[in-house]
Amino acid sequence: MKRFFSSALGLSAMSIAACASTLIPGEALQSPDTLSLTGLTMIASETNVH
């Protein structure tokens, strides 16, 4: 039982850590994350849109 609660607590902590940098609906004035486009594949683009 103790092991079960420990693993549940660990999973909860991991899920909180995974969501720490995400922006949920209603989230106000957070610092922007440092993100990167490196390694991604561009599939569509538009430039100089007026």
Partner 1 sequence: MNSLTFTATFDAAVYSGNDTFCPTTDCLIFAYQVTDTGGVAAGTGIIEHVTASNFANFSTDVGDQTLSTATSVFAAGGTAPSTVDRSLSGPGAVVTFDFPDATGGNSDLIPGDHSTVLIVETNATNYTTGLFSAIDGATATASGFGPASATPEPASMALIGSALLGLGLLSKRIRRQS
Residues at the interface with partner 1 (CB under 8 A): 18, 21-37, 39-50
- Minimum CB separation of residue 14 from partner 1 in Å reads 12
Question: With respect to partner 1, which residue has the nearer C-beta, 1 or 24?
Answer: 24
The residue among 6 and 30 lying less far from partner 1, judged by its C-beta, is: 30
Q: How far apart are CA 22 and CA 32, in angstroms?
A: 10
CB-nearer residue toward partner 1: 5 or 31: 31
Q: Which residues contact 30 (CB under 8 A, 6 or more apart)?
A: 23
How far is C-alpha 31 from the chain's CA centre?
13
Q: Which residue has the tokens 């004035």?
A: 29
